[in-house]
Amino acid sequence: MSGPVAFSIVIPTHARPTLLPRAVQSALQACGAQGEVVVVADSDPGVAASLSDLAADPQLRIVHNMGPRGASGARNHGVAVARGEIVFFLDDDDEIIADYPRRVMPVAQARQADWGFSRHLTRIDEATPPEPASRKKRRRGVIPPSAPFKRNVAATSNGFWIRRDLCQSLGGFCTDMRLDEDTDLCCHLVGAGHRPWYEEDCGMILNRDDAIERLTSTGQAQDWGQCYLKTLQRGAEALRAERGAISFLAFRAQRMLMRAGMTEQLPLVYREVPWMWLRLALQAKRTYARLFGATE
């Protein structure tokens, strides 16, 4: 592609030869005249063969992850080689809705926000039309500081986009985290003063057929516990003044550590909590769970 590129759609992939072409096709349809699609092969030499029918499209680039392996490293490499000022992320088993980038680009170019995400549709099987996700009490626009902190958090599969230079200045996705790296990046963005833009109209179709094996559904509980704890540890200082942030991160870390049977690591959660009242609330929740067998 020789013309100017305003945005890039980055698709990390590993061993998804039958699903990847659909994701890439949807991204190419969303490109318009100013977009490109960057497929990042992560230890996957078969990507070119699986995309042979689309290889002639000048808006498609296939690159190989040259950094740390895994989804975080692949996304970071995609950001590094992207030519667009704005980067959208798409998982290799999902689809981007064709007009989503064109809805977001005016927001990004006017600097109304430097990153954001959207509502999404979910398809549970090929025979059923995709259904929109619940509204989660958000409205289109910048999420205000008065909103509960959890409304600032989204997975990369939820139409996640960001200014390329901002993503790089914050170090990108943490390559030491196999899970929860998207929440970690959201925390760093909010902690640095960047409020997200939310698109009420759906931007993605998430394919959640139970027959498809997914990293997030196959990760061990211990891995989730460790990553939730790390998200809290990495974000605690920057988010101390952010209303409800430490509480949100601490309760979710405690819940997952308890679910994984890793109660010996709970003091590490309490160490990141600067307020006695919150430590007492966490310990009360822990006691309740122990007495009644609940970890939710």
Question: Phi and psi of 148, rounded to 5°?
Answer: -55, 145
Mutual orientation of helices 221-235 and 245-259 as an angle, nearest 10°?
160
Q: Which position has the higher pLDDT, 209 or 213? A: 209
Predicted confidence (pLDDT) at residue 164 exceeds the cutoff of 50: yes
Q: Indicate the range of 56-65, 213-222, 245-254 predicted with least confidence.
A: 213-222
% of the chain at pLDDT higher than 90: 81
CATH number (3.90.550.10, 3.50.50.60, 3.20.20.140, 3.30.420.280) of 7-217 reads: 3.90.550.10
Q: Quick one: pLDDT at residue 138?
A: 81
Which band of pLDDT confidence, cut at 50, 70 and 90, is reported for residue 2?
Answer: low
For the chain, the average pLDDT equals 92
The answer to whether 94 and 204 have CB atoms below 8 angstroms apart is: yes
Q: Which residue has the tokens 């996957």?
A: 44
End-to-end CA distance of the chain: 50
Q: Which position has the higher pLDDT, 208 or 255? A: 255
d(C-alpha 282, C-alpha 246), whole Å: 11
d(C-alpha 269, C-alpha 272), whole Å: 6
The answer to whether 5 and 60 have CB atoms below 8 angstroms apart is: no
Q: Quick one: pLDDT at residue 209?
A: 73
Predicted confidence (pLDDT) at residue 219 exceeds the cutoff of 60: no
Q: Quick one: pLDDT at residue 217?
A: 47
Q: What is the pLDDT of residues 90-110, one digit of tens each?
A: 999 999 999 999 999 999 999
Q: Quick one: pLDDT at residue 291?
A: 81
What are the domain boundaries of the chain? Answer: 7-217, 220-292
Query: What's the predicted TM-score (pTM) here?
Result: 0.92
Q: Quick one: pLDDT at residue 98?
A: 97
Q: Quick one: pLDDT at residue 224?
A: 94
Cα–Cα distance list, 166 to 86, 138, 195, 231 (Å): 10, 24, 13, 19
Q: Quick one: pLDDT at residue 215?
A: 47
Q: Which position has the higher pLDDT, 20 or 126? A: 20
SS3 172: coil
Q: Quick one: pLDDT at residue 66?
A: 86
Cα–Cα distance list, 259 to 86, 249, 263, 278, 287 (Å): 38, 15, 9, 20, 14
d(C-alpha 172, C-alpha 191), whole Å: 14
Q: Quick one: pLDDT at residue 128?
A: 86
Predicted confidence (pLDDT) at residue 216 exceeds the cutoff of 60: no
The answer to whether 38 and 82 have CB atoms below 8 angstroms apart is: yes
Q: Quick one: pLDDT at residue 34?
A: 94
Structural tokens at position 144 = 């205000």
Q: Which position has the higher pLDDT, 260 or 209? A: 260
Which segments of the chain are extended strands (E)? 7-13, 35-41, 60-64, 86-89, 95-96, 115-123, 131-132, 141-142, 161-163, 197-207
Report the relative pairing of strands 95-96 and 161-163 from DSSP bridges: unpaired
Predicted confidence (pLDDT) at residue 221 exceeds the cutoff of 60: yes
Q: Quick one: pLDDT at residue 295?
A: 53
Q: Quick one: pLDDT at residue 292?
A: 79
Alpha helices, DSSP H, located in 110-220: 164-169, 181-191, 215-218
The answer to whether 203 and 119 have CB atoms below 8 angstroms apart is: yes
DSSP state of 263: G
Q: Quick one: pLDDT at residue 211?
A: 57
Q: Which position has the higher pLDDT, 163 or 130? A: 163
